[in-house]
């Protein structure tokens, strides 16, 4: 069953290739959606795919890129909306 998740990541997650690495991981997991830097220093990810693959993305997001230091993750599950064709960085 395909689902949607919103992940909000706090910590040292901007300027450390977090979004670029998120795209790589999401594409490995066959997910669609986007990653975006927020004005408050957090990174927001919206992803759609199978629950199993989304769980793998969550597990990865808790560590992030090699230079990142993740302090906190907030999750919100939703029904899949099917609006994405790929996984991209949003500016």
Closest CA to 11 of 67, 55, 54: 67
Which one of the listed residues 2, 12, 37, 80 is annotated catalytic? 37
Which one of the listed residues 4, 19, 21, 53 is annotated catalytic? 19
12 is catalytic: no
Is-contact 10 42, C-beta < 8 A? Answer: yes
37 is catalytic: yes
Is-contact 87 32, C-beta < 8 A? Answer: yes
- Catalytic residue list: 19, 37
């Amino acid at each position: 069953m395909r689902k949607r998740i919103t992940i909000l990541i706090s910590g040292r997650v901007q300027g450390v290739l977090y979004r670029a690495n998120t795209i790589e991981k999401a594409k490995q997991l066959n997910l669609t959606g986007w990653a975006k830097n927020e004005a408050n220093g957090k990174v927001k990810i919206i992803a759609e795919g199978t629950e199993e693959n989304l769980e793998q993305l969550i597990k990865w997001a808790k560590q992030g890129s090699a230079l990142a230091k993740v302090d906190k993750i907030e999750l919100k599950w939703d029904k899949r909306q099917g609006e994405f064709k790929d996984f991209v960085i949003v500016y």
